[in-house]
Amino acid sequence: MNKSFSVLNSDQINKYGYFFPISTMEDMMWMKATEGVPMHLGHDMHRPIGCMIPYALYFEPYLVRNIGITLIPETDEENKQIHNFKRYSAYKNVTDDVDKNNGALLELLKDKVSENYKYLSASTLAILDKNILATVFPELTKLKDKDGLIKIADLKENFTYKFHGVFVHNSLPLCIYSHSYFRKSLSRLNNFHYLFLDELMSHQDNEEVTLKIGLDWDIIGYAPTFLQAIELEFWFGPKYDDDIANIRPGLTKHICSDFEKSYYEVSATEFYWKKNKELKEFELEELREENAPTLEDFFGCRYVHSIYDTTKNTFVHFDGAIRGYSSDLYFDRIDQNMTEFGRRSDYTKLFRIDGKLELKDWKILITKYMQGNPLIYEYFDIDKPKSQFGSEHTKKTLQQELVPQSIDEGDGIRLLVSYHQKNEGFKEYSHSVSIYDVMESNGESQSVLEYDILEIKKALDRLNKNLFIKEDTFFGVIEDDYWNIPCIFHSDDNPQEDVKITLLAIKKIFDKITERGLDKVISFTLSWNMEDKEVRVSCFGHIKDLQKWLLSFDEIPTNREAFKIWLDNQKKYLNTNYERQEEKPKFQDISQFDGVIYIKRKIVEDKFEPTPSIENKQIICTIKIPNNKHYSDIKNGYITPVMACIPTKSICSKSNLDYKISPYSKFLDDDVYTKIEKFEGLCYYWSDKPINK
C-alpha cells in the first residue's frame, strides 16, 4: 500500500463554517484509529479507492490538526483487500446501528413492513421496503401533484426539515427522506447532494415562492439515530452578480477534461436558452460517463428547466429532474444535441420552485444542484473549485532540504497524540523501550537507539525503576545537539504513577542540560494502555521550551476523560505562551507513521563525496560543495556534516567501567564523560547544531 499523511480536520473554522473542538477530533480518533475508514472517490460509496486511519492529533501554537494515514492500493491483491474492507465496514456500520437501536424501529413498523424489508444506514438507521412511506403515512400520497412532488408547506404540517434531505415527524420518532435521485450516483448507499437540499430549504419561509420536492417512498428512518453527515470538499456556492444579459442565447456545450471525466464521471453539459416574448427559457442537461450503480441499465442525467421573466427581472419557475436512458438510447443521445434529441427519456422530477426567485439565488441553487459538475462554474465564468493545496510548490531552502527538523528557542513545543492497538507486550516491566529504529548490519536488520537513552535509563535507576532495552540493541552516537528519546511504554499495573516517574527523570536530565547551556532540540514519547488502546504522547522542541512546558503540569492522566481535559489544556498552554507562526518544522518532516515524533536526519549524499580523515587526533570530514549559490549555507558553515557511529567500546571517565553498566551519568553528574575507544559504521549526517559549534 502507498502510505501518506493527510490533514482531516483542525480546530480552525473551515470554509463551510464548521468548527471541530479537540474533544470531537479525539472522539473520531477513538472510534476509528484502530480500524480505519474506507475512502471513496468523490465521497461515492461505489468508488472505493483506499483506507483512511484518523490516528493522531498534532498540536502547535494556535493550531491543532487531526492527522490521518492514507492507504492507497498499488496491486490487484491490495485493491481486493480495500474492496473487502469497504464491504465489511458497510456491513458493520449497519449491524452496529441495529444493535444500538435494540429493535425500536422495527417495533414501530412491525405491522407495516413486508417480509422483504432490509435495514439501511442513511443518516439514520432506516428500513428499506417497497412503498413503505405510503403504508405508514397514507395521507402523504394525497398531497402529490401530477409529477409526484409535494409542497413543502404541506409537508410542514407534520414534518420538520432537519438537515441534509431528512424530514423528522413532529410527534413520532420517525423520519422520511428526499428522493433517492438527490443522492450521489442516484444511490441510497450515498449521502445526498445536501448542499442543494439545505439551500433549497433555506427558502421554505419565503412567501414569494412555492417549493415542491420529491420523496423517497421506499425508506423510513428512526429519528433518534440521526447523524449529520459531513463531506468536506472544495465545492461552494460562488458569489455571482445579477447580470443575465451576457448569457448567450442558443445551445452551448461544455466538455470535461480527462481528469474531470475520471473524477466527476461527467463527460459534458449542454446549456440552452430560448426567448419566448418577455420570457427567457433555460434548459440544462449533463451527460454522465457511467451507468447508475444500483439501477439496471440506467444512465441518470441531471436536468434543469427554468423560466426568466424579463419584465420582472426575476425567475418565475425553476425545476430539476433526472433524465434516465437505457444504454442504447443513451448512445443515441450523446451523438445528438439536446435540442435535436427531444424528450425521449425516463423522466423523474425532483423539485420545483414557482414565484419570484432572484437571479443570484437561482445561480446558487443551480450550482449546488449540479454539485460535482465543474462545467457549471465554467459556463457562468467562475473559477472552478480546487484545493488550496494545488500544484503550486515553493522551492525549499537548503535548510528545509537538509535539516527540516530545525526549530528555535521560543518557537514552542509540538505534540503528536496518537491511538493504536492495545500493547500486549512488556507486561513484566514497568518501563520499556517499545519502538526502535532499524539499521542494516551485515545484511540483517538490527535494532538501534541513540546512545543517550542510557541517560534516561540511569535517571530511572536512581528513581528505583528499570528501563527495559533489548539486549541485542546497537547504540548510535551522532555528534550534534538533536536527540531522539525513543518511545517508553508503561505497564498496566500503575501507568499514571510510572509516567509521572518518567517525566521526573526527564526533568532532572533537562535541568542539567539547561544548566550547562547546551542548545539541544529533543523529541521524546511516552505511551501506555488506555482501555482497549495504546496512547502515545510524542513531544518535540527546543530544550528551553520543553523544560518550561514540563513545569506547567504535574502529571499526564492515563484515563480517557481526564486525558481529554489534559489535551485541551495543552492547546490553551501553547496559545497563551507562544505567538501564531508559520509551520516550523513541517509536520511531515518530524512525524512518523507509528505515531511518534522522531528526527530523521538527512545523510550526506555521495554527490558531496564525504571523505573522513584524522587530523590532530580528531576525525574530520571533507566534502565537495557544488559551485552554486543554493549551497551557500554549507560554505558559510551554517549547515555542516556531523559524524555518526556505533561505539563498540565506550568507557565511563569516572569508574573506568563500560559506560552502559557504570552507575555514573554524563548528564546527571559533574566531571563525567564517555570515552569512545572503538567504533564502527562511520557515516555523516547534515546538521545545523554540531556539538563543537
Domain boundaries along the sequence of the chain: 2-100, 102-225, 250-379, 402-687
- Report how far residue 587's alpha carbon sits from residue 600's, in angstroms, rounded to the nearest whole number: 12
* DSSP 3-state of 359: helix
pLDDT > 70? residue 281:
yes
Q: Where are the beta strands (DSSP E) in 256-361?
A: 266-276, 279-288, 299-309, 314-325, 346-357
Cα–Cα distance between 585 and 8 in angstroms, integer? Answer: 19
Q: What percent of the chain is predicted at pLDDT more than 70?
A: 94
Q: Which of 240-249, 327-336, 364-373 is the least confident region?
A: 240-249
Instruction: Identify the pLDDT of residue 549.
Output: 97
**Banded model confidence at residue 13, pLDDT cuts 50, 70, 90:** confident
Between CA 272 and CA 12 the distance in angstroms is 42
pLDDT band at 541 (very low <50, low <70, confident <90, very high): very high
Q: What is the pTM of this model?
A: 0.85
Whether 212 has a pLDDT exceeding 60, the answer reads yes
Given pLDDT bands bounded at 50, 70 and 90, which one contains residue 391? very low
Residue with cell 428499506: 128
**How far, in Å, CA of 319 to CA of 354, rounded?**
9
d(CA 453, CA 475): 9
Provide the H-helix boundaries in 231-295: 258-264
Q: Which residue has the higher pLDDT, 152 or 1?
A: 152
What was the pLDDT predicted at 238? Answer: 46
C-alpha grid cell for residue 73? 492500493
**Rounded mean pLDDT, 45-53:** 91
Average pLDDT over the chain, rounded to an integer: 90
Asked if 399 and 633 touch (Cβ cutoff 8 Å), the reply is yes
Is pLDDT of 388 > 60? no
> Could you tell me which of 35, 63, 57 has the C-alpha nearest to residue 566?
57
Cα angle 571, 572, 574 (rounded to 5 degrees) comes to: 65
Q: What is the mean predicted confidence (pLDDT) over 270-293?
A: 90
Per-residue confidence band for 243, with pLDDT thresholds at 50, 70 and 90 = low
Name the grid cell of 67.
492527522
C-alpha cell at 46: 461505489
Q: Read off the pLDDT of each residue in 6-24 and give the average, rounded to a whole number.
A: 81
pLDDT at 412 over 60: yes
pLDDT for position 93: 86
Confidence of residue 239 (pLDDT cuts 50, 70, 90): very low
For 3-50, the DSSP string reads EEEEEEEESS--TTS----HHHHHHHHHHHTTT-EEEEGGG-TT-EEE
* pLDDT recorded at residue 266: 92
pLDDT, mean of residues 191-212: 92
Take residue 151 and report the three cell numbers written for it: 409542497
Contact 414, 590 (CB under 8 A): yes
Across residues 241-269, what is the average pLDDT?
Answer: 81
Any idea what the Cα angle at residue 10 is, between residues 6 and 14, rounded to 5°? 105
Picking from 224, 171, 220, 226, the residue whose alpha carbon sits closest to that of residue 194 is: 226
32 exposed, middle or buried (CB, 10 Å; 0-12, 13-18, 19+)?
middle
Asked if 506 and 524 touch (Cβ cutoff 8 Å), the reply is yes
**pLDDT given for residue 226 in this prediction:** 80
Lowest-pLDDT range of 165-174, 308-317, 344-353, 504-513: 308-317
Nearest to residue 666, comparing CAs of 487, 518, 503, 463? 518
Distance CA 524, CA 542 (A): 12
Lowest pLDDT segment from 9-23, 228-242, 420-434: 228-242
Q: In this model, does residue 234 exceed pLDDT 60?
A: no
Q: How far, in Å, CA of 644 to CA of 680, rounded?
A: 9
* Amino acid code (one letter) for 665: S
- Stretch 615-621: mean pLDDT: 79
> pLDDT tens for residues 510-524?
999 999 999 999 999
How many whole angstroms separate alpha carbon 8 and alpha carbon 29?
11
Region 437-448 average pLDDT? 83
Helix (H) or strand (E) holding 666: none
Q: State residue 394's pLDDT score.
A: 66
Question: What is the model's pLDDT at position 378?
Answer: 83
Q: Nearest-5° angle of CA 54, CA 55, CA 59?
A: 105
Quick count: other Cβ atoms within 10 Å of Cβ 275? 11
3-state secondary structure of 374: coil
Average pLDDT over residues 580-600: 91
Contact 139, 169 (CB under 8 A): no
- Closest of 632, 590, 624, 586 to residue 604, by C-alpha: 624
Could you tell me which residue, 394 or 125, shows the higher pLDDT?
125
Give me the mean pLDDT over the 344-360 stretch. 93
Could you tell me if 45 and 189 are in contact, meaning their C-beta atoms sit under 8 angstroms apart? yes
Range 302-320 average pLDDT: 93
Least confident of 11-15, 55-59, 570-574, 666-670: 11-15
How confident is the model over 262-281, as a mean pLDDT?
89
**pLDDT of the residue at 19:** 77
Terminal CA-CA length for the chain: 42
Query: Alpha-carbon distance 352 to 486, whole Å?
Result: 63
pLDDT of residue 460: 97
- For residue 317, list its beta bridge partners: 307, 354
* 31/615: higher pLDDT: 31
Nearest to 477 by CA among 679, 670, 655: 679
Q: Looking at the predicted structure, is the pLDDT value of residue 286 above 70?
A: yes
Predicted local confidence at residue 100, as pLDDT: 85
